[in-house]
A and B are shown apart, each in its own frame.
Chain A
């Protein structure tokens, strides 16, 4: 019993420590956004590179996943609803599932697997090799040069890829199954727009903004907790991904209540 209480206490303290540190990290992020160096060439280059690594290199794999999900969900679901004469409800179901839930979730999961892991490993290594100290010794603010371009690129790429996901899954899903569906594309798009509300848009943007921020900030913050041993890098990676998946669950819960 004593051991259980001790373990619970340790977990609680560790969690509080994380939330306290992450809160101040977030404050520093917002402060850093007003730093004039953000518009200087070196920071812009980091931002553009990160956009390329996060949003462009993933496109082929992302398109295939979007078409596959579009085929399985949009096509399948539409076909199923048409069969049961519920074609009028197709729009609201697609808006609720694809735009509100699936697009941010699938994009976040794919970016977590591909980019967040890489960012955790990269920043952990930089911390271990004292390269972050090198930046400080050159009067370069690591927040401005390293963290902010990555976090902002996470938000930009998550937004862009989620919109691409919606287009590819709806159009791809419809086109592939069009020979089997008894509804026109005009009708499908029309019902989707009819079902579109401000709440949907709000839920989408809140999830994108929070998701994009967590997607990069949690790996960066976790990487900064890494010690000086190489063996701590996989531990950081594991811890970062765990935290990120909890964050994704929280975002999904928030999205459900909007």
Chain B
């Protein structure tokens, strides 16, 4: 398992890293779970989740639905599958975003500033989500001020952004 924690100390660095990752997604399947990339407003929850699956694979809507059904039941979003993003709470939006990335079948799942995605009351739910999900390769990028929130994350090791991009993503020319 390769799970890393990466911290930035200012907003400029965060923007710079985001730009680097946006360049990376052009050539590699790296899934970004972030409030900077909201779910599509004129699509329902299920359409949002199925979008990467039906765009990248020649698979019918019903066959794709069968694939994602188990996860939707697990995250208790079957009842809201036809809702639009404005009817969801912050945590549900994050789950939909995560499922989009999961079915993109990305090699790396990157939670970029997760604390910006939900209000404080969902903090424990997010930690529970990270503990329950079997993430093989994931990275949490957050502000240094939120370091204490991830102190008890045993599966995650702290790493430098440039090292991760160079060694794990094999990108040598960082902008």
Contact B41 A40 (CB under 8 A): no
B35-49, CB < 8 A from A: 36-42
B25 close to chain A: CB less than 8 A: yes
Contact B104 A139 (CB under 8 A): yes
| Chain B, interface residues (CB within 8 Å), range | 20 to 34
Contact A137 B22 (CB under 8 A): yes
B130 close to chain A: CB less than 8 A: no
Residues of A within 8 A of B31 (CB): 137-138
Contact B58 A129 (CB under 8 A): no
Q: Which of A40, A122, A133, A134 contacts B55 (CB 8 A)?
A: A40
Residues of B within 8 A of A140 (CB): 51-52, 55
Contact A139 B56 (CB under 8 A): yes
A33-81, CB < 8 A from B: 37, 39-43, 45
Q: Mark A129-155, 1 if CB is under 8 A from B, else 0.
A: 111011111111000010000000000
B108-152, CB < 8 A from A: none
Q: How far is the CA of A129 from the CA of B50 in the complex (A)?
A: 20
B59 close to chain A: CB less than 8 A: yes
Contact A131 B100 (CB under 8 A): no
Q: Mark A119-134, 1 if CB is under 8 A from B, else 0.
A: 0001001100111011
Q: How far is the CA of A244 from the CA of B90 in the complex (A)?
A: 39
B56-105, CB < 8 A from A: 56-61, 64, 100-101, 104
Contact B32 A41 (CB under 8 A): no
Residues of B within 8 A of A39 (CB): 58
Q: How far is the CA of A138 from the CA of B28 in the complex (A)?
A: 10
Task: Enumerate chain A interface residues (CB-CB to B < 8 A).
Answer: 37, 39-43, 45, 122, 125-126, 129-131, 133-140, 145
Can you give 5 contacting A-B residue pairs, CB < 8 Å?
A: A122-B42, A129-B38, A130-B38, A136-B25, A139-B104
